[in-house]
A and B are shown apart, each in its own frame.
Chain A
Amino acid sequence: MLAWLSVLSEEASKVEPDDGELLRLAQADRQAFTLLYQRYVAPVYNYCYLRLGSREAAEDAASETFLRALAGLPDFQGGTVAAWLFRIAHNIIVDLYRKRRPQQPLTEADDLPDPAPSAEHTLLERDELARVQAAINRLPDDQRSVLELQFAGWSGKQIAAVLGRSHGAVRMLHLRAVERLRQLLLDEDEPQ
C-alpha cells in the first residue's frame, strides 16, 4: 500500500522503498517476493533485451532470472537486491551466449548473429541504429554497462550497486562512456 507513505516518514530521505526490508520480508514469507518481482521485472527485462536483442529471448531470460532468484532466496546473504538480480541475469545471458556458439570467446559474443533474427533486428543492422549499437558494444564493459543499465531503466543507486561503485563514480563512468562512444562514432563516420 501507499507508496507515498514511505515519503512521509522519518526515513523521508529514501525516495525509493527499501529493498533490504522487502528482501527480509521475502525471506521470511516468500509471498513478499512478488513485490521485488514487480519492482524489478521491467529493469531486468529491459537489460536482457538490450543484451539479447529480441523480445522472446529477453522474456525467457527475465523469467529464468526471477525463478532462480526465488529458488536462491533463502541462501542470499548480504549485498543489494539490484546487484543480486543483475548477477543472475548476467550469468543467464552469458550462458545463452555460450550455448549459441560454444567455441566463441565471450569477448566476441556481442557480434554473434541472432539465430532467429527478427525482422526488426535485421532492419536495425542496416542503418544508423546498428552502427551506434556496434559502437556501444565496443566500449569497455563497465562503460557499456552503465549506458545499458541506465536506458534499461535502472536507477542511479541500482547501477552503483550493480557496478560496485559510488553514485558519483557511476556518473563519471557514464561521461567517459559517452565521450568514448562519440569518438568511436566519429572514427566510423570518417571516410576510409
Chain B
Amino acid sequence: MSVRDEQQAKLLYDYAAALRDDPDQPATAALAPELVATVHRAAAALHVPPLSADFVARLQQRLEGEIGVTNPPADQPAPLVQPRRSVPSRVSGWLTAAGLIVLLVAGGLWFATSVPQRGVVKPQAQVAPATPTAQPTLPPLPEPQTAAEVITRANALTMSGRLRSFHLQRSVVQYEPVAGSPYVVAGSKVQNADQREVWYEYPQRWRVETRDLREDGGQWQRGPVRSVQVSDGRREWGYEAYLNSVGVKPLVFGTLADEQLPNGNKWQYLNGRGYEQTARSLEAYLGWGAYITNDGTSFYGTPLLCYNAMLVGKDVVAGRATYVISLRWLDSGYCTTQRNGAVSERKLWLDAETYLLLKDESYDAAGKLLRRLAVSSVEYNLPLAASLFDYDLPLGSLLLDFRSSSSGKVEQLRPVTVINKFRFAVYLPTTMPDELQPAPLAFGSNAQRQGERIQIGYMSEAGWTDIGNQMRGSMQAQPPPLPPSIYVKLEAVPDGGFDAVANGAEPLDIPGLKAWFKPDPTNSPRTTLLAVWPVLTVEREGVLISISSRDYDQAELVKVARSLERVAEPVPAELLLTPTVTVLPLPSEVPTAEPAAPNGK
C-alpha cells in the first residue's frame, strides 16, 4: 500500500461521504477523474428516497409502547438513570434540601405563571389544572465530578423519555454587540432582548411563544406575542405576527449541520443528534446552541472545541439547584483563527436533576457581561393541556407551506401559485404544455440556499412523487418512462453577468428577451447519463431564469419563456430570514378552526 494510495483513499472517501449531502460539490484536482466519475455513478445508483417522517414517528410510538410495558407510566416518572458503578451521593442532602425549596418555590411560581397567557394566536392555551401537586421530586444522581460528566448527562438525559414535559419562561438579553450579530440597534445599549414561554412534551411536541423585551426606565416591559411555534409531533407551525403569516413544515429527522441564510448569514444548529428535526428545532427556540453570525462560523459551533470546560460550583436558578460550568477560550493555534467576537468566557448553569440549561452568560476578556440567557421559572413532568400543541390559524393569516415532497404524500403537494420573499424579482411562466403541472418547489439539490434559488419541476401528476430524487441532484439519472417535464430555475444574475461561454450557450434572438440557448451537443437519448439537458436561459431585471427539458424542443421552451410574468417583488435582505414559498390553496388537512381575535380579545 503506497502513500499515494492512502492519500487517494482518504480523498476519495471524504469526497464520497460529502457527495451524499451535496451532489454538486466539485472534486479536488488531486483525485483521479475516473474514480470521481465512478463514485458519482455509485452515488446515483445507491440513492435512497427520503425517510418518511410518518414512519419514524410511528415506529417511535411503537417502541415507546414496548418500553412502557416495563417502565412506569408517564405520570409516575421513573427514577433518574443510575450509572452502573456505585458512587456515593455526596449531594443527596443538598439536593433534598434544594428539592424542598424547589417544591415551595415552584409551586408559588406556578401560581404566578399559570395565569392563561392571552396570546395573539391561541389565547386558550393553558397549562392543565392540578399542576401544583403534579411536579415530582426526582431522585438525584450521584454528584458529578467533572464538567464532562455533567455535559454527558445533559446530552443523555434531557429530552429523553426521562423528562416527560416541562414548562418554562426564559429570557435572552444581549447587552453588547457580538461580532456578526444581526441584532444591531443603533443608539441602544441593549442590542436584543426577548422572552419565550415554552411548553414541551416528550418526545416532539412543543409550543414556544416569543415576545420582545424592552427596557423602559429601568423596568423590563414585555411586548405582545411576536411569534409562535407549535409542534404537534408531526408538523411544526410557525406564526410571525409582523407578517401575519403561518409556516408549516414537517418534522424531519436529520443531522444537518447548518442552514445557509439568504443574506450570507448562517443558522448553525445542533448537529449529530437524532431528534433535531429542523434548523429551528425546540432547542434553537430555547436559544441553546443556535445563533446567527455572518462570518461563516457559529457562536456555539466549531469554536467550542477551543473552550476549556470546568465544573466550578453550584448555584440556584429559578429555584432549582444547578451545576455551574465555566468555559474559557483557549487562545492558541487553531483556536486563534476560530475566535468569533469578544467572548472569552461563558458560564452555564445546568439543572442538577434534569440537566436542562437554566442560565448561560457570555463575558469578554475584561469580564464584562455581553449576553445572558436565563430561565425565570421552570416546572417538570407536569400534565399539559393537549390543546397547547394544536394549532388554529389566525384570521386572515397567510399560510406558507414548507412541506416538501419528502413527506412522500402526493395529497400534500399543491400547485405553487405565489412565491415571495426572494432577493430578486420572481418570474413564473404562465404557459406550459397542457399535460404539465407545477410540482412543489425545490431549492436546488440539497444546498438549502433558501431565498437564493428557486427550482420548480413542471410534470404530470404521476411524476410528483419522484421530486425527492430530483431534489437530490440526480436529474440526469431520471429514468424512463417518467412523464415529460420542464424545469424552471431562478437565481440572481451572478457578478459579471451570465457567462454564456462557460455555460456552453449561445445567444438566441427572441424579440424583447435577452436569451441564450444551450443545446445537447451529445444528441444522446434522454435516458442516458450522457444526455445534456437543453437549457434556455433568460435574463430579466437581475434574475436568471433557466428553462430546461429533455422532452420539449427549443420552440416549446421559447413559448414558456415568452409567457414569464413577474409575480413577486424583490425583498430587502433584512426580511429574508424566514424561508420562502407560498403554496395555495390550503391543503385539506390544515385546520380551519375559528380564528382567534387579535390580542385574544
Q: Which residues of A are at the interface with B, using a C-beta cutoff of 8 A?
A: 1-12, 15-18, 21-22, 24-25, 28-35, 37-42, 45-46, 49-50, 55, 59, 62-63, 66-67, 70-71, 120, 123-124, 126-130, 132-133, 136, 147-148, 150-153, 156, 168, 170-172, 174-175, 178-179, 181-182, 185
Contact = CB atoms under 8 A, between A and B. Distances in A.
B71 interface: yes
Contacts of B67: 30-31, 33-34, 70
20 contacts: A1-B283, A6-B155, A9-B309, A12-B307, A25-B81, A25-B157, A37-B63, A40-B274, A45-B48, A46-B48, A59-B52, A62-B59, A127-B527, A133-B46, A151-B47, A170-B13, A171-B10, A172-B5, A178-B16, A185-B38
A66 B357 CA distance: 30
A30 B369 CA distance: 42
B304 A128 contact: no
Given A1-B288, A12-B305, A6 B151 contact: yes
Contacts of B528: 127-128
Contacts of A46: 48, 51
Nearest to B85: A24
A28 B83 contact: yes
A123 B309 contact: no
Nearest to B67: A30
Interface stretch (B159-167, B241-249, B447-455): B159-167
Contact of A2 (B147, B148, B288): B288
Contacts of A182: 34-35, 37-38
B253 A42 contact: yes
A165 to B, nearest CB: 12
B412 to A, nearest CB: 16
B1 interface: yes
Interface stretch (B123-131, B265-273, B421-429, B580-588): B265-273
B6 interface: yes
B161 A34 contact: yes
A156 B13 contact: yes
Contacts of A16: 272
A41 B59 contact: yes
Given A1-B288, A40-B274, A150 B63 contact: no
A16 B274 CA distance: 11
B148 A3 contact: no
Contacts of B5: 172, 175
Contacts of B66: 67, 70-71
Contacts of A172: 1, 5-6, 9
Contacts of A1: 154-155, 157-159, 283, 288, 355-357
A178 B162 contact: no
Contact of B273 (A8, A17, A171, A178): A17
5 nearest interchain CB pairs?
A31-B161, A38-B274, A1-B158, A132-B45, A151-B46
Given A21-B155, A31-B162, 5 more contacts: A3-B276, A10-B146, A12-B307, A31-B64, A179-B38
A127 B480 contact: yes
A174 B16 CA distance: 9
Contacts of A10: 146-148, 308-309
B9 A175 contact: yes
Nearest to A22: B156
Interface of B: 1, 5-6, 8-10, 12-13, 16-17, 20, 34-35, 37-39, 41-49, 51-52, 55-56, 59-60, 62-64, 66-67, 70-71, 78, 81-84, 146-148, 151-152, 154-162, 203, 253-254, 270-276, 283, 288-289, 300-301, 304-305, 307-309, 325, 327, 348, 355-357, 408, 466, 477, 479-482, 527-529
B304 A7 contact: yes
B147 A4 contact: no
A71 B40 CA distance: 39
Contacts of A124: 479
Contacts of A147: 42, 46
Contact of A178 (B12, B56, B81): B12
A20 B154 CA distance: 15
A171 B64 CA distance: 37
A35 B160 contact: yes
A5 B162 contact: no
Nearest to B462: A119
A49 to B, nearest CB: 5
Interface centre among A4, A39, A172 (most CB of B within 10 A): A4
A24 B148 contact: no
A50 B276 CA distance: 24
Contact of A123 (B59, B157, B273, B480): B480
B479 A127 contact: yes
Interface centre among B41, B45, B161, B327 (most CB of A within 10 A): B45
Nearest to B254: A42
Contacts of B47: 151
Contacts of B45: 128-130, 132-133, 136
Contact of A50 (B48, B83, B151, B159): B48
B144 to A, nearest CB: 11
Contact of A4 (B1, B34, B274, B300): B300
A24 B309 contact: no
Contacts of B482: 123
A174 B482 CA distance: 33
Contacts of A151: 16, 20, 42-43, 46-48
Nearest to B305: A12
Given A1-B155, A6-B155, A181 B83 contact: no
B160 A2 contact: no
Nearest to A146: B13
A72 B593 CA distance: 46
A70 B63 contact: yes
A64 to B, nearest CB: 10
A47 to B, nearest CB: 9
Nearest to B477: A129
Given A8-B307, A32-B161, A123-B479, A2 B38 contact: no
Contacts of A9: 147-148, 151-152, 309
Nearest to A47: B48
B184 to A, nearest CB: 24
